[in-house]
């Protein structure tokens, strides 16, 4: 999809105009009014007949006597309007346009935000792109192709270099979030640790990063007993992916991103029950997010040194699989007592968080579809964040509000450390009080391996999959990707 910026006088007659209206607002005050007033009075008739009352989320494709389409969308009451609703509105417009086979539409930025800034332009572009996304690589292409909006034309008072740049940035964000969704949506039978490593390599080559992939032998030599332990039940070889981008000075500290790369999570011998296993091909969504945060920052030529680390495994209940009660020697030297083979994500992340120390990190972020408990706590509208650093929490929350990739804090208090002490090993991969505070004990487990640097953990299990009413394609959302791009760019 192409994104263009125009002033009102450059809007072409072929473009479908989007009328964003608040309740009670007169259409004659609308910015596009000047364009249609003379030519097509019938826009008015919809209002006159009360066929469109501009309720929030009310959306109509109006076909005028001339045959020309217009898209009418309601904001509801102006005084109840907010920035969060803007994300949904932009997505709804895109999805409606797509369904109505509108190839190109013009949207006035000042209709959806009160101030036209680089940030708002960037977000409108990014949100439109993620709403345009569909995952159809496994489907036969229809004869007339997939419905697609070819051009998003944004109308501003003046086309400035800043706004042009913002549109480009928004495009990068949208494309990379969609890239993360593509990876996460690929079925588990295809998306193996090997394929994930190949995808990371491709991205490294395309955007100027160095990618190193450790295989099983090299991981054994390193002593990554945690990753190797989880991988034992699968015929798929585990991979440890290291991506490096040097946008900063040589002596600058590094930001390390760690992503959970479980390419399919059956639960292991503690097998997941029927429905719980569906969707577990997306258990590498954390990996997908960090790979594409990396790509975005490299494309934006961010002046920072960035490293992405991905432990990639498949969690299978094979005859050679790890068992409850097993003790794994992690890369840190600490031993991990396995209480449950389905709590595999934190185990593989332990080695990656230890490995992160080699880069003398300024900050470390991990992104992981870690716990169903986070989902129970927050529902599907925010990821859970944990950190000992309150400033970082505040920054993450702000980045969430600004990008629409929302997060909410959960506690990481020392008291919880009691709950993950091992009986035989140093730490245990599940909390003592089963079913209680599972997202927190998982975070506390990770913290045992992340004490030497500033760190935040983002549990994206809640937001891994889209829900109805978000105006997103079914499947992976790319959660964590827009959030970290926003924070780090």
Within positions 233 to 262, which residues make up the interface with Zn ion, using CB under 5 A? 262
Q: What's the length of the chain?
A: 489
Rule CB under 6 A: is residue 373 a binding residue for ligand BES? yes
CA distances from 171 to 121, 126, 300 (A): 10, 6, 11
Quickly list H helices, 186-284: 193-207, 216-222, 225-231, 274-277
Q: Is 356 in the site for ligand BES (CB under 6 A)?
A: no
Tell me, by CB under 5 A, how many residues bind Mn ion: 3
Contact status: 382 vs ligand BES (CB under 6 A): no
- Cα–Cα distance list, 124 to 109, 128, 184, 268, 422 (Å): 8, 6, 24, 42, 49
Answer for the pair 472, 91: CB distance below 8 angstroms, yes or no.
Answer: yes
Q: Report if residue 314 touches ligand BES, rule: CB under 6 A.
A: no
Instruction: Check residue 268 for interaction with Zn ion (CB under 5 A).
Output: no
Number of residues binding to Zn ion, judged by CB under 5 A: 4
Between 255 and 463, whose beta carbon lies closer to ligand BES? 463
Give dist(CA 368, CA 379) in Å, integer: 16
Binding at 461: pick from ligand BES, Zn ion, Mn ion, none (beta carbon under 5-8 Å per type): ligand BES
Give min distance, CB of 342 to Mn ion, in A.
4
CA–CA gap between residue 334 and residue 117 (Å, rounded): 50
In the bound state with ligand BES, the residue whose beta carbon lies nearer, of 72 and 184, is 184
Q: Could you say whether residue 283 binds Zn ion (CB under 5 A)?
A: yes
464 binds, among Mn ion, Zn ion, ligand BES, none (CB under 5 to 8 A by kind): ligand BES
Site for ligand BES in 422-481 (CB under 6 A): 430, 438, 461, 464
What is each CA distance from 334 to 268, 271, 448, in whole angstroms?
A: 22, 26, 9
User: Is 445 in a helix, a strand, or coil?
Assistant: helix
The least distance separating Mn ion from the CB of residue 268, rounded to whole angstroms, comes to 7
> Any contact of residue 340 with ligand BES (CB under 6 A)?
yes
Q: Closest separation between CB of residue 466 and Zn ion, Å?
A: 19
> What minimum distance in Å lies between the beta carbon of 335 and Mn ion?
20
User: What gap in Å lies between CA 208 and CA 291, rounded to an integer?
Assistant: 13
Choosing from 74, 76, 339, 345, the residue that interacts with Zn ion (CB under 5 A) is 345
Residues 208-237 that bind Zn ion (CB under 5 A): none
- Which of 265, 337, 459, 465 binds Zn ion (CB under 5 A)? It is 265
Scanning residues 237 to 266, which ones bind Mn ion (CB under 5 A)? 265
The CA-atom distances, in angstroms, between 181 and each of 187, 245, 391, 475 are 12, 22, 29, 8
Query: Which pairs from 47-55 meet CB under 8 Å and 24+ separation?
Result: 52/21, 53/23, 54/21, 54/22, 54/23, 54/24, 54/25, 55/23
Burial 156-195 (b: 16+ CB within 10 A, else e): beebeeebbebbbbbbbbbbbbbbbbbbbbbebeebbbbb
Residue 345 binding ligand BES, by CB under 6 A: yes
What part of residues 329-348 is at the interface with Mn ion (CB under 5 A)? 342, 344
Active site amino acids: 272, 346
Work out whether 134 is an interface residue with Zn ion (CB under 5 A): no
Contacts with Zn ion, residue ranges (CB under 5 A): 262, 265, 283, 345
- In the complex, which residues of this chain contact ligand BES (CB under 6 A)? 265, 283, 340, 342-345, 369-373, 430, 438, 461, 464
């Amino acid at each position: 999809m192409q994104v263009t910026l125009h002033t009102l006088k450059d809007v072409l007659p072929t473009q479908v105009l989007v009328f964003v209206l608040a309740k009670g607002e007169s259409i004659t005050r609308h910015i596009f009014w000047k364009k249609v007033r003379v030519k097509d009075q019938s826009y008015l008739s919809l209002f006159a007949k009360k066929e469109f009352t501009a309720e929030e989320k009310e959306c109509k494709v109006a076909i005028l006597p001339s045959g020309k389409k217009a898209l009418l969308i309601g904001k509801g009451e102006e005084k109840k309007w907010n920035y969060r609703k803007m994300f949904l509105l932009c997505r709804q417009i895109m999805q409606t346009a797509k369904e109505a086979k509108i190839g190109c539409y013009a949207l006035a930025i000042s209709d959806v935000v009160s101030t036209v800034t680089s940030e708002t332009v960037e977000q409108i572009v990014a949100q439109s792109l993620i709403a345009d996304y569909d995952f159809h690589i496994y489907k036969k292409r229809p004869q007339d192709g997939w419905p697609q909006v070819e051009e998003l034309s944004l109308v501003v008072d003046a086309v400035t270099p800043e706004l042009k740049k913002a549109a480009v940035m928004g495009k990068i964000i949208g494309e990379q979030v969609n890239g993360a969704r593509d990876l996460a949506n690929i079925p588990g039978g295809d998306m193996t640790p090997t394929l994930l490593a190949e995808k990371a390599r491709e991205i490294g080559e395309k955007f100027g990063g160095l990618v190193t992939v450790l295989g099983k032998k090299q991981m054994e030599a390193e002593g990554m007993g945690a990753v190797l332990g989880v991988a034992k039940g699968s015929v798929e070889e585990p991979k440890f992916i290291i991506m490096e981008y040097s946008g900063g000075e040589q002596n600058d500290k590094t930001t390390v991103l760690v992503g959970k790369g479980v390419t399919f999570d059956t639960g292991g011998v503690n097998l997941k029950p029927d429905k719980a296993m569906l969707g577990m091909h997306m258990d590498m969504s954390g990996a997908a997010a960090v790979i594409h945060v990396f790509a975005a920052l490299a494309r934006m030529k961010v002046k920072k040194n960035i490293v992405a680390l991905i432990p990639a495994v498949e969690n299978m209940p094979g005859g050679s699989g790890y068992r409850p009660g097993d003790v794994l020697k992690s890369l840190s030297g600490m031993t991990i007592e396995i209480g449950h083979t389905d709590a595999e994500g934190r185990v593989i992340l332990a080695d990656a968080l230890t490995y992160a120390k080699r880069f003398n990190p300024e900050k470390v972020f991990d992104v992981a579809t870690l716990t169903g408990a986070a989902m129970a706590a927050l529902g599907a509208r925010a990821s859970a964040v944990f950190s000992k650093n309150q400033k970082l929490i505040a920054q993450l929350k702000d980045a969430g509000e600004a990008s629409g990739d929302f997060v909410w804090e959960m506690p990481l208090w020392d008291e919880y450390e009691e709950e993950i002490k091992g009986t035989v090993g140093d730490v245990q991969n599940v909390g003592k009080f089963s079913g209680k505070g599972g997202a927190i004990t998982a975070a506390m487990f990770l913290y045992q391996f992340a004490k030497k640097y500033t760190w935040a953990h983002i549990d994206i299990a809640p937001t891994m999959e889209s829900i109805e009413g978000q105006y997103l394609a079914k499947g992976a959302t790319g959660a964590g990707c827009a959030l970290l791009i926003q924070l780090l760019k």
